Amino acid sequence: MASQLEQARAAAGSSPQQAAELYNAVLFADSASDVSVADREVALLSLAALFERLQDAASLTRLINGSQHYLVTVSKAKASKLIRQLVDRFDGIQGALQAQISTCKGMLEWARGENREYLRQSLETRLVALYLNSRMYTEALGLIAQLLSELKKLDDKMQLVEVHLLESRAYLALKNLPRSRAALTSARTAANSIYTPPPLQAQLDLQSGTLHAEEGDFKTAFSYFFETMEGLNVYANSRAASEGAHAASSAAAAPEAAAAPNYEQQQAQAFAYMVLCKIMMQQPDEITPMFATGKTAAKFREHRAIVALQAVAKAQKQRSLADFEKALSEYRSELQTDELIRCHLTALYDTLLEQNLVRLIEPYSQVEITHIAKLIGLPIGVVENKLSQMILDKVFLGILDQGNGCLVIFPESKQDSTYDTTLETIKSLSNVVESLYAKAATL
């Protein structure tokens, strides 16, 4: 069977269909054959890797459902590990989120039927993460409440940390910052009593940084994002060295290594958030020196999201809304996909636009809207909508004379302080009279 596996590996690049048939022959060989459990495991993981490369979610689903007869022949711990690896293979297939959810639910039913509680809880935790990715927050929070009740009784601290972290992410997506902060505190409390793996610690730091950014504390958020990037870099380097040393001696190393998380992508996300923090702190000049802090940052210089944020920082430095608008349009996918980046850049754009408009209209009592649009370099419709919003928000007093296409600015009314001063004087006299009455009563 070793030769058959070698033939399948050789055919995987040129003839995927033939490779799949060879792997299936090993995996589903009858019990009377001389196929070992280890060979079946290699065939199972290799098939999953092949379907991921082919972007074939349907075949991967059939493989996972059809592998149940093999999973009952291995230990519960090994079966749990294999199922998690197989389900994670969907992450590399575009548009396979719903297929991953349905497959995860199917394996949950199998785990319940086999009375495998640890596997069930592990799959339910994975299902919560999938619900969050598909924006099914009600289902996610319901499953989280059930899991937390069970895990607290079992005192499973490691999984408790993961579930609390998912709870924090769910409430953050719903913009419930107090409950998101409380869930993160619970996760950190549980993590303090156990050894927390570096990838999980990095997720805790990333969530902490995100919450601080949402609350406007970008300086603290920057430090958490830096810890995330550096922690993942150290762990990824040590893991790569370890896997390289054992790759030659382990037949199953290749498929397992292919299923490893993309830590470099997570590092790039953390570094992008660091750049965002510098932008929000009005420090665009400090972004370029960040690339000289070490190899970790330097390797992301050409990353698409980092390049997009650098374009935004350049526009911010030049105070050019036209360049800002151009960067947002040119790098729309990079700047609009990530929720944190999108929200803060939208707020920054509105703030810059408002500040520039106030500066432009300050010398005038009446000015044509077309003239303002020409000065600021934006379409008339955008400028008119923003001016109307600023008037409603009472940023300045004025009206839009659409008949003449003009903006009329009213002088700010000066408040007479005599009334307030009189009230303060009367209040002080009242206090004096009351103190005199109190002294007279003691005589």
* Higher-pLDDT residue of 91, 141: 141
Residue 288 CA to residue 95 CA, distance in Å, equals 36
Instruction: Tell me which H or E stretch contains 304.
Output: helix 304-318
Chain centroid to CA 281:
21
CATH for 327: 1.25.40
Q: Which residue has the tokens 């001389």?
A: 34
- Residue 286 maps to a domain: yes
Average of pLDDT values for 354-365? 87
Question: Which of 141-150, 182-191, 232-241, 367-376 is least confident?
Answer: 232-241
Quick check: 38 pLDDT over 80?
yes
The pTM (predicted TM-score) of the whole model is 0.79
pLDDT tens digits, 157-193: 899 999 999 999 999 999 999 999 999 999 999 999 8
Q: How many domains does the chain have?
A: 1
- Residue 324 maps to a domain: yes
131-145, 295-309, 327-341, 412-426: range with highest mean pLDDT: 131-145
Average of pLDDT values for 142-170? 92
In sequence order, the β-bridge partners of residue 400 are 407
Other beta carbons within 10 Å of 322: 12
Quick check: 14 pLDDT over 80?
yes
pLDDT tens digits, 270-318: 999 999 999 999 898 888 888 876 667 788 888 889 999 999 999 888 8
For residue 245, the model assigns a pLDDT of: 58
- Residue 213 maps to a domain: yes
- Residue 236 maps to a domain: yes
- Residue 172 maps to a domain: no
- Residue 275 maps to a domain: yes
Residue 260 sits at the vertex; the CA angle it makes with 273 and 168, to the nearest 5 degrees, is 45
Q: Which residue has the tokens 């998912």?
A: 166
Residues 415-428: b if buried by 16+ CB within 10 A, e if exposed: eeeeeeeeeeeeee
- Residue 36 maps to a domain: no
Which residues form the domain of 222? 197-242+263-337
- Residue 124 maps to a domain: no
